[in-house]
Structure 1
Amino acid sequence: MTTRLSARELTLRYGERIVSTELSLDVPDGAFTAIVGPNACGKSTLLRAFVRLLRPAEGDVRFDDRAVSSFPAKEFARSVGFLPQDPLAPENIKVSQLVARGRFPHQSLLATWSEADDRAVADAMDAAGVADLAGRDVQELSGGQRQRVWVAMVLAQQTSYLLLDEPTSFLDITHQYQLLGLLAGLRDEGRTVIAVLHDINQASRFADHLVAMKEGRVVAEGTAAEIVDAALMKEVFDLPSMVVPDPVTGTPMVVPTL
C-alpha cells in the first residue's frame, strides 16, 4: 500500500479534554477511505488534524513525507481539499460565488481568474447537481441544497485529496447515493477520498478501505469484507446484528437484530 497522508502516534485534545492518544493511521493513496464509528469517537477530530485545523499535542501528521504544518497554506490547499461538518456561508453570497471560492488556492498576483477557473466552477456545479442554482442566494436554499453547494466548492478546488466530514448530512437518500457514487468515481479517476460516514452499509458499498473508531482509537481497518461482521458492530456500536451480503453489490450489509 502506498500512502501520502499519514498520522503517527497522535495525541489529540481540546484544552484539557483528550480525544485520542497514540493514534496512527496510513491513508491508502488512490482509494476511498470511510471512517465510521459512534458519535464523539474522534472521527471529525482526526480529519481536523489531517487538514491542520487541530495541532496534535503529540505526534505528527505527514503528507508527502513532510509535516503538514510545514506547508504554506495555499500550497497545501492545492493538494488537499476539506469539507467540514458545519460550514458557514457569508451573508448575501450567490451559489456561483461560493463555489468560485474553491479556486482561491490557485490565484496569485501572477495567476488571476482564467477560463480554466470558469470551467472548474462550471464542472463542479454540474457534478454536484447545483448548476441550476447558480444565481440563487445560498441562504435561501434548503439544507440539502446547501450541502451540495459546499461539495461543489470543494470539487472546484481540484485537489488530489478530498477529505469530507459527514458529506451526506442533510441529503435525501437519492442525493446521498448520488454523492457517494460521485466520490467513488473520483476515486476511479485516481483521486484519494477520505470521508466520515454514519451509514455502515453505505460505507461498505462504496469505500475500498474502512476505518472503524471507538473512544479515540482505531479498532479495525481494512476492506468491508475483512472487518465488517457482527462482532465489530457489537464492539464499536454496541449493536446486536447479523451481517448478510448486499443483494446489489455482495458487500457486507448490517441488519440490526434489536
Structure 2
Amino acid sequence: MSSRLTAQDVTLSYGERVVSTRVSLAVPDGSFTAIVGPNACGKSTLLKAFVRLLTPSSGTVHLDGRDVADHRPKRFARQVGFLPQGLVAPENIIVRRLVARGRYPHQSLLGTGSTADEDAVRSAMAVAGVADLAERPVEELSGGQRQRVWIAMVLAQETPYLLLDEPTTFLDITHQYELLALFARLRDEGRTIVAVLHDINQACRFADHIVAMKDGRVVTQGPPSDVVDAALMGEVFGLPSLVMPNPATGTPMVVPTV
C-alpha cells in the first residue's frame, strides 16, 4: 500500500527527556489509522512530529518524499490538517469566524474570503453539527459543542490528510459514534485519517488500520482483525480480556475479564 506520509527512524524528545527512539511508521494512503496505547506512550508526540510541531532529534518525517520541514507552511497546511488537544479560542470570537480560520491556507496575503471559503465553512459546520451555533460566542458553548466547532474548523481546511489527537474528548457517546462514522466516510471518499483514540472498541469498529504503541515504540500495526487479540491487550495495556467478533459489525470487540 502506498504512503505519502512517513516517519523513518525518528527519535522524539522534549529537551533531554526522550519519548520515542527510532520509530518508523508509514501511514497508508486512504486509510483511517487509529493510534492506540496507554497514556504517555508517545502517541500524541508522534502526531506532533508528523505535523512539524516537534522536530525529531534524529530520523526524518516525509510528505511526498520530502522532509516535512522543507515544505512551505501554507502548502503543507493545504495538505495536512491537525486537531491537537487543549485548544483555547480567542476571546469573544463567534463560531462562524473560528471555523473560517481553517481557510487561512487557501487565502491570499490579504486574507480576504472567497465564495469557496464561505461554502467550505458552511459545509464544515453542517457536517460537524454546529450550523445552528454559527453566531454564538465560542466561550458560551459546552465542552462537547466547542470540540465539534474545532472539528469543523479542521474540516473547513479541506486537506487530504486529517490528523486528530483524541478528537472524541468531551463528546457524549452519540456524538463520539457520529464523529467516528464521519471520519470513516471521509476515508471512503479518499481522505487519509489518523486519530489518537483511547477506546479500543471504537478504534476496531471504525478504523481499518491500527497502530498499537507502548513505551515510545510501535508494538504492532495492521488491520484490526489481524492485530487486536487478547495477547496484544495484555502486552500493551496490561488488561486481561477476551476478544471476540462484534455481533453488529464482525470487527474485534474487547471484553475485559478483570
How high is the TM-score relative to the length of structure 2?
0.99
- Cross-structure match for 2:29: 29
Distance 2:3 2:20 in 1: 22
- Cross-structure match for 2:133: 133
CA change 1:137–1:161 in 2 (3 A) is same
1:47-73 CA-to-partner distances (Å, cap 9, x unmatched) read: 000000000000010000010000111
Distance 1:254 1:85 in 2: 26
Distance 1:128 1:107 in 2: 22
**Counterpart of 2:55 in 1: which secondary structure?**
coil
Query: Residue 151 of structure 1 aligns to which amino acid in structure 2?
Result: I
- Cross-structure match for 2:236: 236
Matches for 1:1-258 after TM superposition, within 5 Å: 1-109=1-109, 112-258=112-258
CA change 1:168–1:256 in 2 (3 A) is same
**Counterpart of 2:234 in 1: which secondary structure?**
helix
Distance 2:64 2:125 in 1: 30
RMSD: 0.8
Distance 2:193 2:206 in 1: 11
Query: Residue 42 of structure 2 aligns to which amino acid in structure 1?
Result: G
Deviation at 1:5, TM superposition (A): 0.2
Query: Residue 209 of structure 1 aligns to which amino acid in structure 2?
Result: H
Deviation at 1:110, TM superposition (A): 7.4
Aligned structure 1 segments of 4 or more residues deviating by more than 6 angstroms:
none
1:187-210 CA-to-partner distances (Å, cap 9, x unmatched) read: 000000000000000000000100
Q: Which structure 2 residue ranges, 5 or more long, are not aligned?
A: none
Distance 1:194 1:144 in 2: 21
Query: Residue 211 of structure 1 aligns to which amino acid in structure 2?
Result: V
1:106-133 CA-to-partner distances (Å, cap 9, x unmatched) read: 0114783111110000000000000000
* Preserved CA contact (<8 Å) 2:104 2:111: no
* Preserved CA contact (<8 Å) 2:211 2:221: yes
1:198-252 CA-to-partner distances (Å, cap 9, x unmatched) read: 0000000000100000000000100000000000000000000000110110000
**Counterpart of 1:78 in 2: which secondary structure?**
helix
Deviation at 1:79, TM superposition (A): 0.5
**Counterpart of 2:242 in 1: which secondary structure?**
strand
Distance 1:113 1:90 in 2: 19
Deviation at 1:85, TM superposition (A): 1.2
**Counterpart of 2:112 in 1: which secondary structure?**
coil
Distance 2:111 2:212 in 1: 42
Distance 1:143 1:31 in 2: 28
CA change 1:153–1:236 in 2 (3 A) is same
How high is the TM-score relative to the length of structure 1?
0.99
Query: Residue 87 of structure 2 aligns to which amino acid in structure 1?
Result: P
Query: Residue 103 of structure 1 aligns to which amino acid in structure 2?
Result: R
**Counterpart of 2:123 in 1: which secondary structure?**
helix
| Identical amino acids, percent of aligned pairs | 71
Distance 1:237 1:73 in 2: 37
Query: Residue 256 of structure 2 aligns to which amino acid in structure 1?
Result: P
Distance 2:235 2:153 in 1: 37
Distance 1:109 1:11 in 2: 36
Query: Residue 54 of structure 2 aligns to which amino acid in structure 1?
Result: L
Deviation at 1:88, TM superposition (A): 1.3
